[in-house]
Chain A
Amino acid sequence: MADNQPVLNPGRHRLVMFQESALFPWLNTFGNVMFGLRLKPGLRNSERREVAKFFLHLVGLEKFMEANVHELSGGMKQRVALARALAPNPRVLLMDEPFAALDAMTREQLYGDIQRIWEKRRKTIIFVTHNVREAACLADRVMVMSPTPGRIREIFEVDLPRPRDFNSIEIAQHAAKLTAVLKGFAEQEVAVVS
């Protein structure tokens, strides 16, 4: 259920960011961000272009509008994917381990980016991760799930001030609490930033 409507199909109100960027190689960066916007009715094309530019600016890639996908680094690709997912202004953003395939440095930079962007856009993000610290760093609420069947087992509130530093002691303490619960049964948890 979302907004009192049962959720039956994928759709543009619930955009997904995957583990791989899933950018389209036949389009350049700008074209990729425009793809989702073109599917959103009720906008003029000039407005769509403005929105696309705004979000590329937001993820810090306005200089790479014309770049081809193969010319971007892994972190840049995920940022374009983020811009593509944010641009049509979905109600909820679903992120499925979006940083799992990135190296540690890039990932930590993206934790900062995503918190900064979240401060600006205030979007509900459902963020699936296996990384406990990542959950503690990004989430307002962490839902710990059990493996097969995937059920929510416990819910934690993380009420630390933002922006949070991935390497801070408080995050580590929260992460330790989560890990203790996880060791009981689970290998997967879901974090909700709302």
Chain B
Amino acid sequence: MRRTLLALLFFVGLVAIWTAMVRAKIWSPVLLPSPHNVLDYLISAWRDGSLVSAAAVTLRRLLIGYFIGLAIGLPLGLLTASLTFVEDTIGVLALGLQTLPSVCWVPLALLWFGQTEGAMLFVVIMGTVWSVVIATDTGVRTIPPIYARAARTMGSRPLHRWVHVILPASLPYLISGMKQGWAFAWRSLMAAEIYVTILTGFGLGHLLHYGRELNAMDQVIGIMLVIVVIGLLADKILFSPWERFLHRRWGTGRV
């Protein structure tokens, strides 16, 4: 209760500072709209359906791309951690490509796929896969070898060991890798949507882009807020249950 109240106070304070800055008229209202204006925009965009449909388009791309990225990245990470050949090839590739900002995939995706959903998905997948590969690889390598040895003495065979020892033992790393992958997927998709207009769907990034074109700062800030809120919600829904489990079992999470 006390925690919620303090957090609430913090955010009310933030909005109050914002309002005070608008009132002080340091910047033109075109550059810094009041919280009220932004709220007005959000309400009207909600009413005319543009906000909901854009969020739906964006989330669909994000989720599909993210889960494909996970489905590729997790097994690849397990392979790089267990086979030297894959470590020397895919592992190096992943390390290199992870440093490549995901916007850099956009030109390539456009030329390969044209202005299609495929291009969007490609950018999201490329943004996700490599960080997931590296997190999984690190996770598997960090497991104390005694777990696998103990399982071996109890008669565990390699496949059983992968499923029942290696995977659960690296869970803390896998979860943080999946979180990082999610953040990268979000970034990649927003970059792609802002840069590329595609006719198959109008996402949040496009609303942001047109907000800029129209000099509609209330729209720009409003959409940014929506993106932040979706990110927060996704974190709570997708990852919090896992993290609570980890903290309870491993006894981590509090200093």
Contact = CB atoms under 8 A, between A and B. Distances in A.
Interface of A: 10-12, 14-16, 18, 20, 22, 24-28, 35-36, 39-40, 68-71, 84, 88, 94
Nearest to B250: A25
Contacts of A88: 154-155
B225 interface: no
- Please give me the 6 A-B residue pairs with the lowest Cβ-Cβ distance, nearest first: A70-B251, A12-B155, A22-B150, A36-B154, A26-B168, A16-B153
Contacts of A71: 251
B168 A39 contact: no
Interface in B23-68: none
A84 B171 CA distance: 22
B249 A10 contact: no
Given A25-B250, A68-B250, 14 more contacts: A12-B154, A16-B149, A18-B149, A18-B150, A24-B165, A25-B249, A26-B168, A35-B154, A39-B156, A68-B249, A68-B251, A69-B249, A70-B251, A94-B153
B14 to A, nearest CB: 37
Contact of A26 (B150, B154, B171): B171
B151 interface: yes
A23 to B, nearest CB: 8
B169 A18 contact: no
B112 interface: no
Contact of B151 (A35, A40, A68): A35
A40 B165 contact: no
Contacts of A69: 249
A24 B153 contact: no
A40 B146 CA distance: 21
Nearest to A94: B153
Contacts of B171: 26
Contacts of B165: 24
Interface string B236-255: 00000000000011110000
Interface string B141-153: 0000011011111
B168 A18 contact: no
Nearest to A37: B154
Nearest to B160: A39
A11 B153 contact: yes
A10 B157 CA distance: 10
Contacts of A70: 249-251
Scoring A14, A16, A25, A84 by chain B CB atoms within 10 A of each residue's CB, the highest score goes to A25
Contacts of A11: 153, 155
B164 interface: yes
A35 B149 contact: no
B139 to A, nearest CB: 13
A79 to B, nearest CB: 15
29 contacts: A10-B149, A11-B155, A14-B153, A15-B153, A18-B146, A18-B150, A20-B146, A22-B146, A24-B147, A24-B168, A24-B169, A25-B169, A25-B249, A25-B250, A26-B168, A26-B169, A28-B249, A35-B154, A36-B155, A39-B154, A39-B155, A40-B155, A68-B248, A68-B249, A68-B250, A68-B251, A70-B250, A84-B154, A88-B154
A40 to B, nearest CB: 7
A16 B153 CA distance: 6
Contacts of B154: 12, 15, 35-36, 39, 84, 88
A88 B154 CA distance: 8
Interface in B207-255: 248-251
A10 B152 contact: yes
Residue of B146, B149, B153, B248 with highest tally of chain A CB at under 10 A = B153
B247 to A, nearest CB: 10
Nearest to B165: A24
Contacts of B156: 39
Nearest to B154: A36
B167 to A, nearest CB: 9
A126 to B, nearest CB: 13
Contacts of A94: 153
A68 B248 CA distance: 8
